[in-house]
């Protein structure tokens, strides 16, 4: 990678303040920048680094006004964070991308592998699987029978995709993720044992979905567990059988959704949240981290917090009381003591 400020500004439709011919060859955080690096400032918590950063070029928002002299060449853009993401995507495309089938690997003769596909060593592609063109299956990956993987999808090392599951186009599935394992279905028996309920459905993942490492998405008991277009799942997430997650919903790490629950589109779910089974979450709902959802949320755009969760405004008011309970208890005890003294004085009179 080697770009001038002039090239970068043209790509981002930005304006330059400083030397238009300065060259950058790498990307760095603003606090770690050195000559030849490109950085960005979006969060004003990092503004202090702008004035001492050694980065050659720094992206800033159009409306930002520096309070001190800046040594770097600045490129003003509408949204510095989004512009930096666009540059990272451009940079990633300059990195060589593997193509071809490495050995040893196993590809069943009934599997369909399209053009420009990469299949890494020690991968297993089972019967009747389909790998779309330009997709990449990194080493030590298992693709089960009848699995369909779309075009330009990345599946990183160690991922496991069980039989009959469907992965869309332009998806990213990170290492050690399991898609299509059995849902948690067991029928209690009279002898206190549990009989396994066969899980005969599948998982459908639509286009532009990204799934983090060590995430598990269970197959449906019947029908499909569905992850809609544009969903982003963090690492270490559990999605139960027959769950449906709406378009462009994002879920942070260590969250779990129990079976048959439906999450709307454009929702934001914080880390370590738990959602019980068989409920519905409306569109555009925001759930604060470590919240527990035990009932359906029917109001579009609701923001909730707590366990069990309720309106975030009411939660914050309640929390003010809760965190002061020790002091309130001490005051109540003191008042009780004073009241007892008054009673004793009254009786003595």
User: Beta-strand (E) ranges in 95-227?
Assistant: 100-101, 106-107, 112-113, 118-119, 124-125, 130-131, 136-137, 142-143, 148-149, 154-155, 160-161, 166-167, 172-173, 178-181, 186-188, 194-196, 202-205, 210-211, 216-218, 224-227
Q: Are residues 264 and 170 in the same domain?
A: yes
Lowest mean pLDDT among 132-136, 294-298, 344-348: 344-348
Q: Name the CA dihedral angle for 202, 207, 210, 216, rounded to a multiple of 10 degrees.
A: 0
Q: Is 322 helix (H, G, I), strand (E, B) or coil?
A: helix
CB 125 within 8 A of CB 117: no
11 and 90 share one domain: yes
State the helix-helix crossing angle for 80-94 and 5-12, rounded to 10 degrees.
110
Q: Which two tokens stand for residue 138?
A: 């990194």
One domain for residues 76 and 89: yes
What is the predicted pLDDT for the residue at 96? 67
CA distances from 261 to 88, 236, 277, 298 (A): 36, 19, 5, 13
Say whether both 338 and 300 belong to one domain.
Answer: no
The residue to which tokens 């707590």 are assigned: 306
Cβ atoms 176, 158 nearer than 8 A: yes
Q: What is the pLDDT of residues 192-244, one digit of tens each?
A: 999 999 999 999 999 999 999 999 999 999 999 999 999 999 999 999 999 99
Could you give the number of structural domains in the chain?
3
CB atoms within 10 A of CB 247: 17
User: Could you tell me if 38 and 156 lie in one domain?
Assistant: no
Q: Rounded distance, CA 239 to CA 215, Å?
A: 8
The reply to whether 221 and 323 lie within a common domain is no
Copy the structure tokens of residue 281. 């979450």
Which structural domain, as residue segments, surrounds residue 69? 3-94
My answer on whether 176 and 288 are in the same domain is yes
End-to-end CA distance of the chain: 93
289, 244: one domain = yes
Same domain, yes or no: 158 and 290: yes
Question: What average pLDDT does range 330-349 have in this prediction?
Answer: 86
Compute φ and ψ for 347, nearest 5 degrees: -65, -35
Kindly state whether residues 43 and 107 are assigned to the same domain: no
How do residues 273-291 score in pLDDT, each as one tens digit? 999 999 999 999 999 999 9
Give the Cα-Cα-Cα angle 316, 318, 321 (nearest 5 degrees).
115
Is the pLDDT at 316 greater than 90? The verdict is: no
Tell me the CATH number at 30. Answer: 3.40.1390.10
Average pLDDT, the chain: 94
Which of 94, 120, 144 is the C-terminal boundary of a domain?
94
Catalytic positions: 241
User: What is the chain's length?
Assistant: 349
The H-or-E segment that residue 280 falls in is strand 280-281
Calculate mean pLDDT across residues 156-162.
98
What pLDDT does 268 receive?
Answer: 98
Please check whether residues 251 and 333 belong to one and the same domain: no
pLDDT 10s digits, 77-111: 999 999 999 988 887 777 768 999 999 999 999 99
- Report which DSSP code applies to 198: P
> What is the tens place of the pLDDT at every residue in 37-78?
999 999 999 999 999 999 999 999 999 999 999 999 999 999
Q: Which tokens sit at 280? A: 């519905």
Q: How far apart are CA 82 and CA 72, in angstroms?
A: 20
Do 21 and 154 sit in the same domain of this protein? no
Q: Say whether 135 sits in a helix, a strand or coil.
A: coil
Tokens representing 44 are: 């004003």
Query: Which residue(s) pair with 15 in the sheet?
Result: 76
């Amino acid at each position: 990678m080697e770009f001038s400020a002039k090239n970068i500004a043209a790509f981002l439709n930005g304006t330059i303040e400083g030397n238009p011919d300065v060259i950058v060859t790498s990307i760095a955080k603003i606090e770690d920048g050195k000559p030849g690096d490109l950085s960005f400032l979006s969060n004003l918590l990092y503004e202090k680094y702008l004035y001492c950063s050694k980065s050659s070029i720094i992206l800033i928002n159009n409306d930002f006004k520096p309070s001190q002299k800046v040594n770097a060449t600045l490129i003003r853009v509408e949204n510095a964070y989004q512009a930096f993401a666009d540059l990272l995507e451009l940079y990633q495309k300059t990195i060589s991308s593997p193509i071809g089938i490495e050995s040893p690997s196993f590809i069943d003769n009934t599997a369909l592998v399209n053009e420009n596909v990469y299949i890494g060593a020690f991968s297993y592609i089972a019967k009747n699987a389909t790998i779309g063109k330009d997709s990449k299956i990194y080493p030590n990956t298992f693709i089960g029978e009848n699995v369909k993987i779309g075009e330009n999808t990345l599946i990183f090392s160690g991922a496991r995709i069980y039989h009959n599951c469907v992965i869309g186009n332009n998806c990213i599935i990170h290492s050690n993720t399991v898609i299509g394992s059995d849902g948690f279905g067991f029928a209690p028996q009279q002898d206190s044992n549990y009989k396994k309920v066969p899980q005969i459905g599948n998982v459908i993942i639509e286009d532009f979905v990204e799934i983090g490492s060590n995430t598990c998405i269970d197959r449906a008991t019947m029908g499909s567990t569905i992850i809609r277009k544009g969903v982003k799942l963090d690492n270490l997430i559990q999605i139960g059988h027959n769950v449906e997650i709406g378009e462009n919903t994002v879920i942070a790490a260590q969250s779990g959704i129990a079976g048959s629950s439906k999450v709307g589109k454009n929702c934001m779910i914080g880390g370590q949240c738990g959602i019980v089974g068989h409920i519905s979450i409306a569109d555009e709902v925001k759930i604060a981290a470590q919240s527990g959802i035990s009932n359906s949320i029917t109001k579009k755009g609701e923001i909730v917090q707590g366990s069990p969760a309720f309106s975030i405004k009411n939660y914050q008011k309640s929390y003010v009381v809760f965190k002061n309970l020790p002091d309130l208890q001490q005051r109540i005890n003191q008042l009780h003591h004073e009241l007892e003294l008054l009673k004793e004085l009254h009786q003595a009179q």
